[in-house]
Amino acid sequence: MLPEFSLTEWYDISTGRLRGNRPVVERRLVDLQGCFADEGEYAALLSRENPLLYTVTAVDHSEGVGDLHYGLGVLHPGKVGSEYFMTKGHLHSWREAAEVYIGLSGRGVMLLEDEAAGESRLEPLEANSIVYVPGRTAHRTMNVGDKPLVYLGVYPARAGHDYGAIAKSNFRMIVVEQDGRPVMMARDNSL
Ligand code: S6P
Ligand code: ZN
């Protein structure tokens, strides 16, 4: 069955959202407890304000075996200490599920971490860039610019989100601003 709308018609480039009343996930600073390496800076910022970090508007047609879901993410600029505003990050519950991210506007990076080997990689995510996230790979997005980062993530309908593994051990690497640029470093050696 054909979908009830064309994605291009529904996409609102000014907000990075889909028009209409699609459910939007909103995550604020308080929802990212334990994600930022500098807990002191995190607590200090949270005591002053609880900014909106990002929204995700997901389109999920159905849960059929071959179906795809996609989500429009809008990640706002900002930092906690020297760490950029980021998403919580997750593995897919169905570990084999891969994902493609397409950058639409703004400047960001994606931190990828292979679950088994623990290898990490940083990839740019900005207008006209594409990031392939293989299965069994934890992924987290950071805004390294000064405007909202808008992107589309496309993934198998059955992928699901596993936030638990990240909540337990977090990513091994962090991304901080050094001399105006994003730099990846080991969490243990940081700060
Ligand atoms: C879903 C896809 C994205 C994220 C979004 C927010 O598989 O990777 O739509 O959900 O970037 O990140 P997170 O880690 O809070 O779900
Ligand atoms: Zn994902």
pLDDT tens digit sequence for 94-110:
999 999 999 999 999 99
Q: Which ligand is nearest to the CA of 151?
A: 1
- The backbone torsions φ and ψ at residue 71, rounded to the nearest 5 degrees and listed phi first, read -135, 135
Report the candidate in 53, 164, 29, 186 with the shortest Cα–Cα distance to residue 119: 186
- Tell me if 71 CB under 6 Å of ligand 1: yes
Mean pLDDT throughout 38-58?
96
Distance CA 86, CA 69 (A): 22
Does the pLDDT value for residue 136 go beyond 90? yes
- Tell me if 103 CB under 6 Å of ligand 1: no
Distance of CA 4 from the midpoint of ligand 2 (Å)? 24
Beta bridge partners of 67: none
Residue with the smallest CA separation from ligand 1 atom 8 is: 153
Does the pLDDT value for residue 34 go beyond 60? yes
Distance CA 23, CA 25 (A): 7
CA 13 to chain centre: 19
Residue with the smallest CA separation from ligand 1 atom 11 is: 73
In the chain, % of residues over pLDDT 90: 76
pLDDT attached to residue 5:
72
Distance of CA 123 from the midpoint of ligand 2 (Å)? 15
Question: In 39-159, which residue ranges form alpha helices assigned H by DSSP?
Answer: 39-48
Q: Taking the domains of the chain in order of start, what are their residue ranges?
A: 11-189
Mean pLDDT throughout 45-57?
97
**Whole-model pTM over 0.75:** yes
Which residue type sits at 74?
Answer: V
Report the candidate in 46, 5, 47, 41 with the shortest Cα–Cα distance to residue 29: 46
In the chain, % of residues over pLDDT 70: 98
Mean pLDDT throughout 103-118?
95
The CA distances from residue 57 to 3, 11, 32, 66, 122, in Å, are: 17, 11, 18, 21, 24
10-19, 59-68, 110-119, range with the lowest pLDDT? 10-19
**How much is the mean pLDDT over the chain?**
92
Q: Which ligand is nearest to the CA of 28?
A: 1
Could you tell me if 154 and 102 are in contact, meaning their C-beta atoms sit under 8 angstroms apart?
Answer: yes
Does the pLDDT value for residue 61 go beyond 80? no
Distance CA 40, CA 45 (A): 9
Superfamily of domain 11-189: Jelly Rolls (2.60.120.10)
